[in-house]
A and B are shown apart, each in its own frame.
Chain A
Amino acid sequence: MKIKYYPGCTLKSKAKNFEDAAIASLKELDIELEEIDRWNCCGVVYSLADDDLIHMVAPVRNLIRVKEQGGDKVVILCSMCYNTLSRANLLMKEDEEKRNTINSFMDEEIDYSGEVKVLHLLTFLKEEVGWDNLREKVSNPLKGLKVAPYYGCTLQRPREVGIEPLGSFELMTEFLEALGADVVKFSAADLCCGSYQVVGNEGVVLDASAKILNIADSEKVEALATSCPLCEFNLGKRQGLLMEEKKIKKEIPTFYFTQLLAVALGIDPEVCRFDLNASASLELLKTRNYS
């Protein structure tokens, strides 16, 4: 089966590992991620100021691309893109006045009113593949790997676009269980890592990330699975610095959930581009003989 796919900027650069692992894994599951033509940056953050409609143009244009290319659904991997596109989609569906303004502003485009369904890959996997089916395809189960789902902010908040209700982490938990991992209940799964504040307030982000990693350590988490390249940066790639500054005692390797999927499906680890993760990630997999 084929499904329209919106990658977003970071999956084409710093998070190539996230994308490559997803494409290879889905191929193994007989699904082709069909990248939409002429996509553009979604703007990363949804506009929260009531008069700021111009920043809706970027995400809505992507949804128009899906519609004009014959899609009724679009799958997204990056949590921030998912959030922005979902919220823009909801606005176009529910706010007639703003919809009309945006549609008439983009007079070269076809009209859009929220017809496309925006899906996160985890939701798509559950609905289209199913956890039992996935479990059967796993050839290299992640037995004994104590991994915790880390959702961060944008997969669950605000409620109207969350992939599941607040405080529930079932989707990724069931996904990781299907891969054979020992999923740890993690009390900081939706605590904010500091997000874009890394640009202006680095210290604040280091504190926020250290807090999450220290909770993970105290709850015996060995690895974190994430869906956001910004969380992966703040929580994963910054661990060396956090160790140096003695803000954390132990490194907790981080993975994109698609990388764990690829490993469990027995896909060549080269494809997963672990060179783009912090070095602790691949080391953990090697010491456990997963790759």
Chain B
Amino acid sequence: MPVKITPKTVNTDFIKKLEELSGQNIHLCMQCGTCSASCPMSENMEFTPRKVMHLAQFGLEEGLEDVNTCKVCASCHSCTVRCPRGIDIARVMEALRQMILRKNINFVEPSKIPAETIKELPPIALIAGFRKLTS
């Protein structure tokens, strides 16, 4: 997917908000791709974590909302512990997730989960899942 970057597409407010929420300096990222290589979920992501970091550095909010990366992230922290620039990427993913969820958007609809699934899942799966995937 070609991405057009002009001074008009750079959303500096978005970058500021992302850095505040995550507590991370996203400009430290040097695009080495260690996060993508470490991510056990990257095969199922539309954009890998490295690409998401790149888009974030350019403040491309809309592009980031449309990709599933932060919705598929399992917060396993593999990227965080391996990032050679010391960026807690799990926190960046959380910030991206929160920025979407706080618009009252759910990634999963609890009412649509079948009763048998609810019965089968351990409580920690449901609590963690709802915390991470619902607004």
Contact = CB atoms under 8 A, between A and B. Distances in A.
Instruction: Give chain B's interface residue range (CB within 8 Å of chain A).
Output: 35 or more
Given A198-B129, A199-B129, A200-B108, A15 B23 contact: no
Interface stretch (A38-46, A60-68, A131-139, A218-226): A38-46
Contacts of B22: 48-50
A197 B122 contact: no
B124 A200 contact: no
A130 interface: no
Given A10-B123, A48-B90, A192-B40, A158 B81 contact: yes
Interface residues of A, number: 42
- Among B41, B122, B129, B131, the one with the most A-chain Cβ atoms within 10 Å of its Cβ is B122
A230 B127 contact: no
A287 interface: no
Contact of A49 (B40, B81, B95): B95
B20 A51 contact: yes
Contact of A166 (B81, B90, B131): B81
A194 interface: yes
Q: Is the interface of A mostly helix, strand, loop or mixed?
A: loop
A13 B113 CA distance: 20
Nearest to B106: A200
B3 interface: no
A62 to B, nearest CB: 14
23 contacts: A10-B123, A43-B131, A48-B95, A49-B21, A49-B95, A51-B20, A78-B124, A80-B128, A153-B74, A153-B78, A157-B77, A157-B78, A191-B40, A195-B74, A196-B125, A198-B121, A198-B129, A199-B108, A204-B72, A208-B40, A230-B128, A233-B121, A233-B125
Interface of A: 8-10, 13-15, 41, 43-45, 48-52, 55, 78, 80, 153, 157-159, 166, 191-192, 194-201, 203-204, 207-208, 211, 229-230, 233, 237
Interface of B: 20-23, 40-41, 43-44, 71-72, 74-78, 80-81, 88, 90-91, 93-95, 98, 107-108, 113, 120-133
User: Top 10 closest A-B pairs, CB basis?
Assistant: A199-B129, A196-B128, A48-B94, A192-B76, A200-B108, A157-B77, A14-B122, A153-B76, A196-B129, A44-B128
